[in-house]
A and B are shown apart, each in its own frame.
Chain A
């Protein structure tokens, strides 16, 4: 009896998306910038400008929120609003939220540790403590937007967003939710920035990595709904028109030939625009969605990535109807994201 599971939940339909990035929050402007070469020097971290994090719609509820939660709330709010017409009749207790993060709100954690070290462990700030937990962002999202369905915050240093998308597929397929807002958030605090060059050297990651921060969320529904694209997390090696990948952040021991090889017509990366982070697949997905929406190949061309087999033509003018977002995992089984134009 073959016990290798063959079932996979159906893809989800992307109904809207929103993002808070170092390049801004306005999607048309983002698309325009992604059509040009990246301009950020390699030694310049991609941090979010503070003025981008103020939004009257967040209101009183966000007054104590840190950068981590603010970025998440604004991106989730934008995603929901972008898909507004498609979920007018959805009950709030049928809306789920999934937040992926690598390092969580570490800046607030360090602030809480400051309080312990300066005032003693019996006199630290309760506000800093409550905002240092990883699910603070999800709490702000659900409170601000009134969503009362399932909520899951998860942490992973490699394939967090991929696993989050897979969970969204499962929740929608089993009928636990009618909509899921799924995304990721990372912050780049001063402690991390200071230590990052030494940290990266210690884990064999290229020092050329540009660290980044931001949040990106997608409002998704069942694939029976008309949307911008179908999205799934998959290990299947189907060829795609476009390959989007992290580059050049791979640890040296993982820069091996992918098995089986990935087949595509062309490859790009959005890492130089948004920066590298644990859940950077979210931002590769953002760039990919903008490719599908604009009908253009955006991002920085990757000429000869390891483990990629070119198929058909590398004609840059050919239409892009399918995109694979690929991030090598420390596990031997590659899990990547597949975006396809509906009807393809």
Chain B
């Protein structure tokens, strides 16, 4: 550990798996998952989704019409409280790096339908959209001064956001950073993933031999990162470090992963190298594991080739659904919790080994051996990202 160490000092999460970290852990321990068959909007699509509670408690400054922002606010609030941060002293630079997909798009169907109908729709949805660039809005609400970035790398956005925030701290651009991702369940990506033919009409089964696609979900996962110097000044003795991050492009296809997982392999290897650890030191992997045929085959094959066939791994999307821009943030939080609590839950939805995947995820609550854990993300656009956490005794 040295000046460049980036500590994790707080986590916050809200999803269908739980409205906070404590309830999420409780659900994980019981192996519970709560797919819903009804949608919060009218739709011709019949499929399970994973939804956070409809009425989110969003006191000021987190009140805003955007559900994505509400979800982000809940997770930020919990993460700051977990870190013991009630405010920042004058002059402390705090970065904000959050990933999203839904909040970045002007995709209000009622607004656009009104535009098509009469040409001059009420512009309030536009103003709402312009007022909630995720990282900008969080920085303004908390009066933070430091770098900020809203990452829109599709489904790897949250993981990329953590890597960028860690780089900011190592570069000395800020002492602390709020990083992660948030996304709401929205009709537009629902229609999009349905059109691509990658959604399941059953609760998803990541890495299973009978998997037949993903379920969408919603949520937010946020991590507080701190420099060693700032944590020390605050009197904190954190135990989890963001030890490595890697990202790489497939340069292959807009929506399909590289068949041999070229970018994912590179991202994982860069993360391991940056952390200066061997694959054998990795106690478990929280995989992207969407339950689509392509993703799980490619990801399972790459993980087996790097870590061997005895690697404990799981996908938490069986509990949360695919939360898109939030996925990397949520799964980072779950990975940190696995290291902190020293156990990981069963990979929900898995029952039958797949002939096209050389390894199988854990089927039950499993103790964690090893001081490191990895979380991976793959995305539209050929983005791949891997973030490695290390637990110090």
Is B266 an interface residue when CB atoms closer than 8 A count as contact?
Answer: yes
* Pairs across A and B, CB under 8 Å, 20 listed: A6-B172, A7-B173, A112-B192, A116-B109, A117-B109, A121-B190, A124-B191, A126-B195, A129-B189, A135-B154, A135-B381, A139-B382, A142-B249, A149-B249, A150-B247, A151-B249, A151-B381, A152-B151, A198-B123, A202-B123
Q: A104-B104, A125-B195 are in contact. List 15 more A-B contacts (CB 8 A).
A: A115-B191, A116-B191, A117-B112, A129-B193, A138-B153, A139-B383, A143-B252, A143-B253, A149-B248, A151-B153, A156-B133, A199-B123, A199-B126, A332-B145, A333-B145
Would A7 and B105 count as touching, CB distance under 8 A? no
Interface stretch among B16-24, B160-168, B289-297, B358-366? B160-168
Interface stretch among A39-47, A82-90, A166-174? A166-174
Q: How far is the CA of A336 from the CA of B345 in the complex (A)?
A: 47
Is A303 an interface residue when CB atoms closer than 8 A count as contact?
Answer: no
Is A224 an interface residue when CB atoms closer than 8 A count as contact?
Answer: no
Is A56 an interface residue when CB atoms closer than 8 A count as contact?
Answer: no
Would A156 and B136 count as touching, CB distance under 8 A? yes
Would B381 and A155 count as touching, CB distance under 8 A? no
Scan residues 366-393 of chain B and give those whose CB is less than 8 A from a CB of chain A.
Answer: 379-383
Is A304 an interface residue when CB atoms closer than 8 A count as contact?
Answer: no
Given the complex, which residues of A lie within 8 Å of B167, measured CB to CB? 167, 170-171, 174, 176
Would B150 and A129 count as touching, CB distance under 8 A? no
Q: How far is the CA of A110 from the CA of B114 in the complex (A)?
A: 13
**Chain B interface: which size bin?**
35 or more
Given the complex, which residues of B lie within 8 Å of A140, measured CB to CB? 254
The contact of B229 among A3, A113, A202, A330, by CB within 8 Å, is A3
Is A342 an interface residue when CB atoms closer than 8 A count as contact?
Answer: no
**Shortest CB distance B168–A (Å):** 7
Is B237 an interface residue when CB atoms closer than 8 A count as contact?
Answer: no
Would A150 and B249 count as touching, CB distance under 8 A? yes
Is A276 an interface residue when CB atoms closer than 8 A count as contact?
Answer: no
The contact of A122 among B45, B164, B189, B233, by CB within 8 Å, is B45
Interface string of A151-191 (1 = CB under 8 A from B): 11111111000010011011101101000000000000001
Is A217 an interface residue when CB atoms closer than 8 A count as contact?
Answer: no
Scan residues 226-269 of chain A and give those whose CB is less than 8 A from a CB of chain B.
Answer: none
Q: How far is the CA of A26 from the CA of B174 in the complex (A)?
A: 40
Is A148 an interface residue when CB atoms closer than 8 A count as contact?
Answer: yes
Interface string of B173-211 (1 = CB under 8 A from A): 111000000000001111111111100000000000000
Given contacts A109-B105, A122-B45, A331-B139, contact A5 B172 (CB under 8 A): yes
Would B164 and A167 count as touching, CB distance under 8 A? yes
Scan residues 1-43 of chain A and give those whose CB is less than 8 A from a CB of chain B.
Answer: 1-9
Would A4 and B44 count as touching, CB distance under 8 A? no
Is A308 an interface residue when CB atoms closer than 8 A count as contact?
Answer: no
Q: How far is the CA of A173 from the CA of B172 in the complex (A)?
A: 11
